[in-house]
Structure 1
Amino acid sequence: MTKILMVVDAAPPHYGGAGQQALLLAKELEAEGSTVRIYARRRESTRSQSEMVRFVGPLIRSEALSNAIFAILIFFIVISSRADILHCHGAFYYGFSSTAAAKIRRIPIVLKVTLLGTDDPQSIRAQRKLGLNIGIILVRQFFWADRVVALNTDIQKACANFSSRIETVVVANGVKLNKSFREERELRARIPVVEPKVIFTGDVCIRKGVDTLLAAWRGFLNSYPDATLTLIGPVREEILRILGDLDPSTRNTIRVNGKLSHSSTLDALAASDVFILPSRSEGLPNSLIEAMGIGLSCVASSIPVNRTLCIDSATYCDPESVLSIEAALCNAVLKNDEMSTRALNRSESFGIGRTASAYVDIYNSLAKSPNSRKVLQR
């Protein structure tokens, strides 16, 4: 039985992020016979948690100290483990310490890069703390890794441009596709939408374009006065300030739900008509894939990763333009039936089973010798 040790910063039960993707992948791999353990620094909720996840980070306010302690703890966890594979989600402090330990133990290492400009080699190399260039040390994890996984080709190119010694492959995130949601959506999409329910899921922040969305919402209400907007995910202070400045009539149409479990988020998506993700940057957005998998008419920013992901199954907008977002929302409502069908068809390319198969191929390619047993058969 194969033992896979995964490391991630934060883990579910809240929705979204690398932790959600790690748990989806772990469940799929365990269904195929592996044993997977996920170690996380922090939990984002007090709700019940999968037995696969162990939280080992300290409960302290200082983010820097918490990161440092977790990095030390995860080093000793990996060095003492009997894992066949280390799979690290994110090239941060814990990525450095966990890959260092795995390198000492000669455990094959898979290192996943999640967002260009955040944990790609160049961004890690540029990190400084207390005036010290710590990035020159942290970047070693990319060279220790037996395989670096990029979520998109832009990240892959960034790794190749940094060093030809970094072996990088592209593996897209996957989601669990629910056939019952599809059947319900195919029926519902044929009904004209007169009171559109618009939903956003993810980190409710400026990088995700929520500031421009809120500025555009008033104009959209002029076309659809009975529309509602639901925001699901952790809400940043800057967005709370914008919400507080909205006029009461506009604010009353917006529901801020905060962090929800994965199942509750899927239920909220299924009850909606239009999904919107006006991000300024993305690695590969799980939320957009899941919205397509449920069959929502999707609005997405016209950044390269979204266009590659959706192709013709989303209505695109400029994340910096209020008028562009207004127009895209209106078009998504008017073309609800057509865009719903396109989204459902496109989502078939992003099932978690395909993602798991890609990782199984990577794990098996890292077998140490021809006499080694396969890491996992699928």
Structure 2
Amino acid sequence: MRPRLTTERRARHARRAAARPQERRRERGCYPPRVRVLVVAPLYHTDRGGLGRQAVLLTEHLASLGVRATVVTRTLSGLPAREPPPGVELHRIRAGRPRVHNYEAKSARNLVTSLRFSGGLVRALLALRRTYDLVHFHGASLPLLVAQPWARLLGKPVLAKVAAVGQGVEAGDLAGRYGPLGDLLARRLRAVDVYVATTGEIEAALAAEGHRWIERIPNFVDTERFRPPGPGRRARLRAELGFANRPVVLFSGRLTPRKEVDTLLRAFARVPARQGAAPLLVILGDGPLRARLEGLARARGLTNRVRFVGFRPRPWRWLAAADVFVLPSSVEGLPNALLEAMACGLPCVATALGGAREVLGERGLLVPVGDEAALVASLSELTADPARREALGRAAAERIARDFSLRAVAPRYLDLYRRLLARSSSTP
């Protein structure tokens, strides 16, 4: 007597049966062969930082297009559980300090964590070698340096995405730093098959270090969640969040030195009230500088004009309820926070760095890095002029919907995967 199938087993058999005709057609050459990629993303989660969110959303969307993805990431704790969809398999590495989600600061402890992850990554490359055909690194720092020679030994081509320069830890930003060591590391990283640069500034930096194959693919936005709100939804959100009838300026990001939130606080103290309503500054995010920044806000007399709300899992609600977005960073690539604010139809004030210049242009206001007076002038202008806010916000949302949606960007990666594999197979 044959055993009865459980509901789960029936579903699994049905999926396999549905896939067999497509697999047979692939074997006969009717479909292109299925792409199998090993994704390396030390931070792989939608709730902690733009780099991790980009890695998750891109991988899952590519899986929906038929890519088979194996993700190698760090074991993290203190984050909401997230189950991968069909076509995505997670392989977690214990690298220590699981509650530390971001380790962008240069320190001995972060170096040790990165080295431990890199060692585990090499073991994963070897153990999983029959399950993937190419390797996609989200980031081009120490794990890439350590693991790329092993991928080459296994005959697996390597793609690395570079999301920022200016911190001295990634390809495109090593030559000329750390004495002869920086030049040596830059030469080592020339062995990577192809780099993805998210901005023209990053592309130029990679080219200056001698990297030959560089593709320009921008960051993207999940425009199903980050989108302009209707009037009714916006009014409800403002009431829920306690914004009342005052202009709301929103900052979103980690509270680290390069975000320059201290500069923002000093500038905001000088933004005047309009018609008796003092603007409100909302700081959405958390980080090592939070206590110091809260102290600075108190010292500047901003207790009733600044709200530190910490990390929130649904940032699109706060963006949809705000009036102006501000990003005063001193180092950025193509900031996810800026793209998401634009997608929600917010007028934006940002420092005139490479990615912001490219995406904002005349659709927002650009200020020099560290220029408090320029921040005061831009924020004062937008908090006082609803018509100007509406015009800039509408142009920003149109720009994102046209050129930076996930649906528009993800197929460019699939095309690059196929070109990389084709080139690799034709190279002796």
8 A Cα contact 1:186 1:341, kept in partner:
no
Q: RMSD value over aligned CA atoms? A: 2.9
Name the structure 1 match of 2:296: 245
Q: Given the superposition, is the C-alpha separation of residues 186 and 157 from structure 1 closer, same or farther in structure 2, using an over 3 Å criterion?
A: farther
CA contact (8 A) 1:231 1:254 kept: yes
C-alpha distance in 2, partners of 1:87/1:371? 17
Identity %: 25
| Post-superposition offset of 1:195 | 0.6
Is the Cα–Cα contact under 8 Å of residues 70 and 94 in structure 1 kept in the other structure? yes
Contact 2:229 2:320 in 1 (8 A): no
| 1:213-267 CA-partner distances (Å, limit 9, x unpaired) | 1101111254474432222223233x53232133375123322232333xx1112
- The question of whether the paired residues in 2 share the 8 Å contact of 1:204 and 1:232 is answered with no
Matches of 1:365 and 1:258 in 2, distance apart? 42
Q: Assess, with a 3 A threshold, how the Cα gap between structure 1 residues 50 and 199 changes in structure 2: closer, same or farther.
A: farther
Partner of 1:107: 156
Structure 2: how far apart are the matches of 1:177 and 1:326? 30
- 1:303 corresponding residue in structure 2: 353
Query: Residue in 2 aligned with 1:376?
Result: none
Structure 2 portions without partners, runs of 5+:
1-33, 101-108, 236-243
Cα pair distance change 1:40/1:187, threshold 3 Å: closer
Which residue is 2:391 aligned to?
338
Paired position in structure 2 for 1:65: 112
CA displacement 1:106-128 (0-9 Å, x = unmatched):
11211111211234435335665
Deviation of the 1:198 alpha carbon: 1.5
CA contact (8 A) 1:7 1:38 kept: yes
> Helix, strand or coil: the match of 2:94?
coil
Cα separation, partners in 2 of 1:138 and 1:19, compared to 1, 3 Å: farther
Q: Name the counterpart of 1:197.
A: 248
The answer on whether the counterparts of 1:207 and 1:280 sit within 8 Å (CA) in structure 2 is: yes
**1:260 and 2:306 correspond:** no
- Separation (CA, whole Å) in 1 of partners of 2:377 and 2:76: 38
Please name the residue that 1:281 is paired with: 331
Taking the TM superposition and a 5 Å limit, the aligned residue runs for 1:28-67 are 28-41=61-74, 43=76, 45-51=78-84, 52=88, 53-60=90-97, 62-67=109-114
Give the AA of the match of 1:323. A
Q: How does 1:157-176 map to 2 (within 5 A)?
A: 157-163=204-210, 165-176=211-222
Q: Residue by residue, what CA displacement relative to the aligned partner does 1:314-373 show, whole Å, maximum 9, x if unpaired?
A: 12223322221122112223122111211111112111122212111211111246989x
Partner of 1:16: 49
Q: Does 1:85 align with 2:134?
A: yes
Match of 2:15 in 1: none
2:188, 2:140 → 1: CA distance?
7
Residue 4 in 1 paired to residue 42 in 2? no
Partner-residue secondary structure (3-state), 1:175: coil
Contact 1:99 1:141 in 2 (8 A): no
Aligned to 1:351: 405
What is aligned with 2:105? none
- More displaced, 176-185 or 147-156? 176-185
User: 1:121 aligned to 150, 167, 171, which one?
Assistant: 171
Q: By how many angstroms is 1:285 displaced?
A: 0.6
Q: Secondary structure at the match of 2:230?
A: helix
1:40-70 deviation per Cα after TM superposition (whole angstroms, max 9, x unaligned):
2354742223435443132238322211111
Letter in 1 for 2:298: D
> Are 1:209 and 2:260 matched, yes or no?
yes
Could you tell me whether the CA contact under 8 Å between 2:39 and 2:72 is conserved in 1?
yes
Secondary structure of the structure 2 residue equivalent to 1:124? coil
Distance of aligned partners of 1:59 and 1:252 in 2 relative to their CA distance in 1, 3 Å threshold: farther
Deviates more, 1:307-316 or 1:52-61: 52-61
Select the structure with the greater relative contact order (CA < 8 A; seq sep ≥ 6).
1
The code of the aligned residue for 2:70 comes to R
Q: Which residue of 1 aligns with 2:17?
A: none
**SS at structure 1 position matched to 2:363:** coil
Letter in 2 for 1:208: K
Q: CA separation in 1, counterparts of 2:77 and 2:199?
A: 26
Normalising to structure 2: TM-score of the pair?
Answer: 0.77
- For residue 4 of structure 1, give the secondary structure of its aligned residue in structure 2: strand
Per the alignment, in what secondary structure is the counterpart of residue 112 of structure 1? strand
Rg (Cα) greater in structure: 2
Q: Note the C-alpha offset of 1:33.
A: 1.4
Match of 1:230 in 2: 282
Deviations 1:154-200 (A, max 9, x none): 1111121221x5311111001111388335169969xxx95112211
Say which SS state the counterpart of residue 115 (structure 1) adopts.
Answer: coil
Distance 1:246 1:181 in 2: 31
AA aligned to 1:213 is: L
Which sections of structure 1, spanning at least 5 residues, go unmatched?
373-378
Q: CA deviation at 1:87?
A: 0.5
Change (3 A) 1:285 1:371: closer
